[in-house]
Amino acid sequence: MNLKNKITISSLVFLLTLVSYGQQDPQYTDYMFNTLTVNSAYAGSRGHLTLTGLHRSQWVGLDGAPTTQSFSVDSPIGKNVGLGVSLVNDRIGPSDEFYLDANFSYTLRLVKDRKLSFGVKGGGKLFNVDWTRGSYQEDEDIFQDNIENKFLPTIGAGVYYHTNKSYIGLSVPNFLTNQYYDAIQNSVDAERLHFYLIGGMVFDLNSNLKFKPAFLGKFVTGAPIIVDLSANFMIHDVLRLGASYRWDDSVSGLVGFQISPQLMIGYAYDYTTTEIQDFNNGTHEIMLRFDLISKEKQLKSPRFF
């Protein structure tokens, strides 16, 4: 048996202390296309019904590493109101968390194409921990009673300023300090407040080339700041190529293809830059987005968001 196969969950816990202290919520490399999961004010901002699905396999080859699936649907309802639903399934080690949230936004229309949206969300998560899953070192007293389908409520809020070619948003996905699985302590603990700051802009370099820088900052009480920086290029409004950097964590390559005016597919690969790089084969993320828009209402200049 090689070294990679001998790594136990407790070894993973040690490595996590080096690279992801304070990380509690799922993270995404294609965060610029998955905004509703962190900011309720985003609901309906694209101006039509949008469905987005994403799968993320983190640190492939490392037993007990995180895997995440998310799905969201949102749409404007009337002139100023947006509604949306987001679902997230997150697994790490012995724990599973399934989130279901309803999102509501109200938009103030400012001068020209500028808009300011306020959002609230409410829902809950089902929390499961099965301590028999995975392998543990025998001398560690980490076993506790299993948790099965424990319901924990979520309440969040956000604000989102956007134009046709730029956006910035601030949000708190959950004000309640519910329970979660702490991969560092290998125990069930209380969540800390998460604050998200997200933004981006689209530049027309020429008639066939657009450039979009974007960022996401995650601030968790008592933990280091997590910052993602990305840069994407859109070629002929069809092919998207880009790169991303997560501070002190990973570098990523991103690619996307606008299959049709309604359907887009994206893929991202993360290469870990920390000590854990020797024990995994990278992180893979695939994303699909479907926009229910008629030919007459197609966006003349894709916003990337």
For 57-115, how does the pLDDT look when each residue is reduced to its tens digit (9 = 90+)? Answer: 999 988 888 999 999 999 999 889 999 999 999 998 888 999 999 999 999 999 988 99
CA distances from 161 to 45, 132, 203 (A): 10, 46, 18
Question: pLDDT at position 301, please?
Answer: 46
- Asked whether residue 146 is domain-assigned, the answer is yes
Indicate if the pLDDT at residue 36 is higher than 60: yes
5: left (phi over 0), alpha (psi -120 to 50) or beta: alpha
CATH number, domain with residue 49:
2.40.160.40
Average pLDDT, the chain: 84
- Asked whether residue 304 is domain-assigned, the answer is no
Q: Is 158 helix (H, G, I), strand (E, B) or coil?
A: strand
Is residue 192 a contact partner of residue 221, using CB atoms and an 8 Å limit?
Answer: yes
Question: pLDDT at position 1, please?
Answer: 40
Q: Over the stretch 243-289, which tens digit does the pLDDT of each residue have?
A: 999 998 899 999 999 999 899 999 999 999 988 888 888 999 999 99
Q: Which residue range(s) make up the domain with 107?
A: 3-297
Q: Over the stretch 145-194, which tens digit does the pLDDT of each residue have?
A: 788 888 999 999 999 999 989 999 999 999 987 654 444 444 445 567 88
- Asked whether residue 305 is domain-assigned, the answer is no
Q: What is the DSSP letter of 35?
A: G
Question: pLDDT at position 190, please?
Answer: 58
Q: What number of helices (H) and strands (E) belong to the chain?
A: 2, 17
Q: How confident is the model at residue 26 (pLDDT cuts 50, 70, 90)?
A: confident
- Asked whether residue 303 is domain-assigned, the answer is no
Candidates 121, 127, 155; CA nearest to 42 is: 121
> How many domains is the chain built from?
1
- Rounded-to-integer distance, Cα 258 and Cα 274, Å: 33
- Asked whether residue 155 is domain-assigned, the answer is yes
Q: What is the DSSP string of 188-246?
A: EEE---EEEEEEEE-EEEETTEEEEEEEEEEEETTS--EEEEEEEEEETTTEEEEEEEE
Q: Which helix (H) or strand (E) holds 268?
A: strand 263-272
- Asked whether residue 178 is domain-assigned, the answer is yes
Is residue 230 a contact partner of residue 254, using CB atoms and an 8 Å limit?
Answer: yes
